[in-house]
Amino acid sequence: MTKRTIALLTDFGLDDNYVGIMKGVILKINPDVHLVDITHSIDPQNIFQGALTLKTAYSYFPSKTIFVAVVDPGVGSSRQPILVKTKDHFFIGPDNGLLSLALKGQKSKEIYTITNDQYFLKPVSQTFHGRDIFAPVAAYLSKAMPSSKFGRKQHRMINLSWQSPRIDQKNKSIIGKIIDIDRFGNLTTNVEQNHLKGTISVKIKNNVIQELSSSYAKVSKGNLLVIFGSKGYLEIAVNQGSAEKKLKAKIGDSIKIVQKSQKSKKILKQSDLYQEFMDQ
Q: Is 273 in the site for its own copies (CB under 8 A)?
A: no
Select 11 or 95, whichever has its Cβ closest to its own copies.
Answer: 11
Instruction: Note whether 255 and 237 are within 8 A (CB).
Output: no
Among 9-17, 147-155, 158-166, 255-263, which window interacts with its own copies (CB under 8 A)?
Answer: 9-17
Select 22 or 267, whichever has its Cβ closest to its own copies.
Answer: 22
Among 10-18, 157-165, 200-208, 254-262, which window interacts with its own copies (CB under 8 A)?
Answer: 10-18
Q: How many CB atoms are located within 10 Å of the residue 261 CB?
A: 11
Q: Is 134 in the site for its own copies (CB under 8 A)?
A: no
Q: How many CB atoms are located within 10 Å of the residue 108 CB?
A: 8
Among 87, 156, 170, 183, binds its own copies (CB under 8 A): 183
Q: Which amino acid is at 99?
A: L
Select 166 or 228, whichever has its Cβ closest to its own copies.
Answer: 228
Long-range contacts of 125-131 (CB under 8 A, 24+ apart): 126/75, 126/76, 127/75, 127/76, 128/18, 128/75, 129/70, 129/72, 129/75, 129/76, 129/81, 129/94, 130/10, 130/12, 130/18, 130/22, 130/68, 130/70, 130/72, 131/18, 131/21, 131/22, 131/25
Q: Is 230 in the site for its own copies (CB under 8 A)?
A: yes
Question: What is the footprint of its own copies within residues 39-98 (CB under 8 A)?
Answer: 39-41, 44-45, 53-54, 56-57, 60-63, 65, 73-78
Q: How many CB atoms are located within 10 Å of the residue 17 CB?
A: 10
Instruction: Note whether 171 and 223 are within 8 A (CB).
Output: no
Q: Is 131 in the site for its own copies (CB under 8 A)?
A: yes
Rounded alpha-carbon distances, angstroms, from residue 48 to 125, 183, 204 = 25, 18, 23
Q: How far is the CB of 190 from its own copies (least distance, A)?
A: 17
Q: Is 184 in the site for its own copies (CB under 8 A)?
A: yes
Among 93-101, 146-154, 222-230, 252-260, which window interacts with its own copies (CB under 8 A)?
Answer: 222-230
Cα(80)–Cα(68) distance, integer angstroms: 14
Among 90-98, 112-120, 208-216, 263-271, which window interacts with its own copies (CB under 8 A)?
Answer: 208-216
Q: Is 24 in the site for its own copies (CB under 8 A)?
A: yes
**242 burial type by CB count under 10 A (0-12 exposed, 13-18 middle, 19+ buried):** middle
- Site size for its own copies (CB under 8 A): 68
Chain positions contacting its own copies, by CB under 8 A: 2-3, 5, 7, 9, 11-21, 23-25, 27-28, 31-32, 34-41, 44-45, 53-54, 56-57, 60-63, 65, 73-78, 125-128, 131-132, 182-184, 214-218, 227, 229-230, 235, 240, 242
